[in-house]
Chain A
């Protein structure tokens, strides 16, 4: 379940949980303070008031003591007035307490106090009457009895006071117990918040900051920009990536346009190749008939010149068509293991007559037979013939020289290569043309098709090799063919 939740949701869940726990803890504390306040004001205040009333009651009782004795001694009625006043205070206090009491135990004590006090008052009044009637002896005995009742009532008042004191202590103990519970809850809340906080921190580190840092390291490696602030670095990195994406998109657009253009060109090429293929047969028919005519016609010199030009131009058109077809529909290579030297010899042998007609000599420099390569001998021969014929055609009148140099280059970790270098002592290839010379339809010859070297380059590429030009105009031209040696 947790794994299936996405990163943002996980983060929000943890954060919400943390906030909830913190707020819940705070709310419990606030609730507790209110509860305590209410509790103290309602319970403790009542008990304290009752306790104070109980003390006042006892005090009002104690204050009644001695007035009758003083009256007996000096007969001053003012003592009796004061006694009456304190009796009234006691009664008022007592009535006040009685009106608020609902507890049965309290009521019982108060009933006893009331009962004993009433008896005590009654006896005390009788004592005063006896003293007024000068029955001092009898009054003294009764006074003694009243004193015993006084102390009994006072003890009851004291018991009533202690009962309230015990209740206050009980409330205090309860409050202390509740405070401990709250402390436990608060402590547990702190622990839970700590655990969730730690988990959130771990989560943020592991799922956000960690990946951000790793991402930054990658971005930093790429861009070389470093910043102490990860977010700034990330922002810079993302900005760079967006730029890269925009650049790539622009490149992609260009590529797409190029692709469309290439597809169009390929389609045009296909049509042209189809057309070339179609015209070849009737064209050959024309050539056959010309050949037939050439065998039997007896022409004047002018007519013969015209006939030769027609034949020559038709041959030229045929060469263009043939080259174009070969370029647009390259034949499949028929690979076999063969030494490049064998192919060189085949090509030179094939061109023997043509080389003589151009007054060209060929020198093959072969220190040792190069190792075998994987090649189509016919295709490779075509490449060599093409280069040698180009060399012949580029030569000025006079003797020309072609050097074919064969060697093997050890590749070390890569594949060894067989190198065929064909150089001539002709006018060479100007630097400005070196880049164009392998392009299709590029030619410097009046009757060239411009496809010979591009076909040669393609054949070499299909063999996994390379063809290059070396040498400037002063040194003649040199073509370097490198082909991978069969391991």
Chain B
């Protein structure tokens, strides 16, 4: 019993240390949403960076720190969206992307980033988002415990 508790605590510590190596870019046009996602994901132990437009995403994506994941609401205020999306699509081969937007917007632009996962944006979508991020992180770091 004590062994199990110790093992569990060890695994959690290990997971936390792994998450510290997992850097996520959160991109959303609403800064309160960005801050909320930042707070929630940071509390989970991830390193989180925020981007309010495509230009910032690209700047962060080529940051010296290795970027592990992009959580993106494509409805960003940049005017050169299509060009940036092309760059992101190329980036998507290297970095996993989660589209976090409204269902109706996603329905209109399902093929925007073909390889990306989708999480519908709503009041409690953070739970689903955390779950999907954890799945992706686990795939990246095979030894990440549940």
Contacts and interface: CB of A to CB of B under 8 A. Distances in A.
Interface in B19-42: 28-30, 32-33, 36, 40
Contact of A281 (B30, B123, B124): B30
B110 A285 contact: no
A325 B104 contact: yes
Contacts of B123: 284, 287-288, 290-291, 314-315, 318
B108 A332 contact: yes
A285 B107 contact: no
B104 A285 contact: no
B104 A284 contact: no
B136 interface: no
Interface in B89-106: 102-104
Interface string B107-122: 1101000000000011
B30 A334 contact: no
A45 interface: no
A373 B108 CA distance: 22
Interface string A285-309: 1011111100000000000000000
B104 A329 contact: yes
Interface residues of A, number: 22
A103 B65 CA distance: 145
A270 to B, nearest CB: 16
Interface in A188-233: none
A411 interface: no
Contacts of A289: 32, 36
A285 B36 contact: yes
A326 interface: yes
Nearest to B123: A287
Nearest to B40: A292
Interface in A229-285: 280-282, 284-285
A288 B103 CA distance: 16
Contacts of B104: 322, 325-326, 329, 331
B126 interface: yes
A282 B75 CA distance: 13
A378 interface: yes
A287 B33 CA distance: 10
The binding surface of chain A is classed by DSSP as helix
Interface string A137-154: 000000000000000000
Interface centre among B29, B110, B123 (most CB of A within 10 A): B123
A224 B28 CA distance: 70
A284 B108 contact: no
A287 B32 CA distance: 11
Contacts of A284: 30, 33, 102, 121-123
Contacts of A318: 122-123
A280 B36 contact: no
Given A284-B122, A284-B123, A287-B123, A292 B108 contact: no
Interface string A89-103: 000000000000000
A280 B126 contact: no
A456 to B, nearest CB: 15
A318 B30 CA distance: 17
Contacts of A331: 104, 107-108
Interface centre among B29, B30, B40, B108 (most CB of A within 10 A): B30
A314 B123 CA distance: 10
A285 B108 contact: no
Given A285-B30, A288-B125, A289-B36, 17 more contacts: A280-B102, A281-B29, A281-B75, A282-B30, A284-B33, A284-B102, A284-B121, A285-B32, A285-B36, A290-B123, A291-B124, A292-B40, A322-B103, A322-B104, A325-B104, A331-B104, A334-B110
12 contacts: A282-B32, A284-B30, A284-B102, A285-B30, A288-B33, A288-B36, A288-B123, A291-B126, A292-B126, A318-B123, A322-B103, A331-B104
- 10 closest Cβ contacts across the A-B interface? A287-B123, A331-B107, A285-B32, A281-B30, A291-B124, A291-B123, A285-B33, A288-B36, A331-B108, A326-B104
Interface of A: 280-282, 284-285, 287-292, 314-315, 318, 322, 325-326, 329, 331-332, 334, 378
